[in-house]
A and B are shown apart, each in its own frame.
Chain A
């Protein structure tokens, strides 16, 4: 068993397809341009004017660079870090050179001559890459921490003991079903003890949901009714492990167990364009919200989604008309991409 503190950081180029990375690049470059404008002229009005002038030159270039890197990103990521780094700087600088020539050729104003422009561009790209690498590195202990958090988010002991108790109650009357239940329990725990840092396929997470639901069904019988809407679920999508199972566990714990009537739970997963949408609904009991545990699991999932997808995933909860709903949206990624 490896330690939680092990170093999981590996040098890698930033994911240029990540919205967070793009946003950081845009903001950093514009902030630098603004700072340069403020330094070169004496008053604010003039500085803003100069910045606006530069921006008309700068923004199209920036967007072109980002689009270029977006396309090349998977290919660049496969190179060794040093080669990828050098190539990114070279390609970005070359693109800037071409752009400079085009603008000048069209007779429009350029902020600097070609050589200065290329030097500034190369330096800037190198600095940005170094900065993004530092950011990733700063987050990497957090990634290791995610392992710990996933452990904490894992199945309540309540579930383990209740399930074992239910299986014990079954052994004499229905040994076959008891066997199946123990197999389910083993598989659920195998997943729970797996490495929480790697992505899993949605198909695997769905299988986990079904095994888990099978166990809860044994215990709660008719009181638990789950509707599965998985027809358009993209089973090849990748997601952090244990994102959906704790939500279903919450739904059962807060929405079904406290009720004397039948508790209807909905599990809906679909692909919408390049996004994956997951929704879990359960009956809402107001008094339940004060019970600890719900918020903690949600915060934990939210944090892990942010670690895996940065700003591109979201988790929202809502209580409407006696139903409680958790919705997750994340980018559709597959092992191929």
Chain B
């Protein structure tokens, strides 16, 4: 039997050492090979895709990006690794894990529990992870060949649905992601507002509205975004809500 390829993401050195010791202790029962280690969430996102990891041991409290968000971004991979979450004490997270049937271990981890978790673990899928996380992500993830590119949400100006994909527009460039505009709208309701059937714009980026001129059809409004030449059309249906939004601003 080929050894299981394990990746360890934990911000504390002694904690990673301990996991490696335990893995070697249970090698008889579950043969494993450690293919990589990360000290924070961003490192994990960077290294996991090319590591060939089959299982990710993932601490949920890490600087930069927590374990739950890391796991959500792995959905961008063709074959995301199985995930076993690890936490020292976070009642809230444990409740969410239980509720969504996610695999988790409590620190200090016991060898037998680790072995059991490795044997049955799987990748839970983005929906269950989103429910467990409860909140919005801080990044959007773009799948590139064998790596995951992260786009910080605060850089995003607008999200526009085009047939199969959603275009993510930042000041610098465009990315394509495979998520639905409806779920994005729900997740990022605090930061984004719908201006059209196919488009969400960042609330903070709205500079104002212009009247569309020279159109032969019905007159309508265009939204002006900070640092963007392009003007985006506002649908008649969304206009009243947007107008109120602008009026509310100081």
Contacts and interface: CB of A to CB of B under 8 A. Distances in A.
Interface string B11-35: 1111111100100000000000000
A217 B96 CA distance: 30
Interface residues of B, number: 22
A158 B88 contact: yes
Interface string A212-236: 0000001111010000000000000
The SS class assigned to the B binding surface is loop
Interface stretch (A48-56, A109-117, A169-177): A169-177
A167 B14 CA distance: 8
A259 interface: yes
13 contacts: A156-B89, A158-B89, A161-B106, A162-B88, A164-B107, A164-B108, A167-B14, A169-B12, A169-B16, A170-B14, A172-B21, A221-B13, A260-B63
B61 interface: yes
Contacts of A221: 12-13
Interface in A254-269: 257-260
A161 B107 contact: yes
A158 B89 CA distance: 5
A157 B88 CA distance: 8
Given A165-B18, A166-B12, 12 more contacts: A158-B88, A161-B106, A162-B89, A165-B12, A165-B108, A165-B109, A168-B18, A169-B14, A169-B21, A170-B14, A170-B17, A221-B13
Contacts of B109: 165
B12 to A, nearest CB: 5
A168 B108 contact: yes
Interface in A146-167: 156-158, 160-162, 164-167
B147 to A, nearest CB: 20
Contacts of B88: 158, 161-162, 165
B85 to A, nearest CB: 15
Nearest to A181: B14
Contacts of A160: 89
B90 A219 contact: no
B40 interface: yes
Interface of A: 156-158, 160-162, 164-170, 172-173, 218-221, 223, 257-260
A160 B107 CA distance: 10
B64 interface: yes
A164 B63 CA distance: 20
B206 to A, nearest CB: 23
Contacts of A170: 14, 17
Nearest to A177: B14
A257 B15 CA distance: 14
Contacts of B64: 260
A162 B64 CA distance: 19
Contacts of B14: 165-170, 218-219
A255 B18 CA distance: 25
Complex A-B, nearest 10 residue pairs according to Cβ-Cβ distance, in ascending order: A169-B14, A169-B18, A161-B88, A166-B14, A165-B107, A165-B108, A157-B89, A169-B17, A162-B88, A260-B63
Contacts of B39: 260
Given A161-B107, A257-B61, A258-B63, A166 B15 contact: yes
A185 to B, nearest CB: 13
Nearest to A292: B92
A259 B108 contact: no
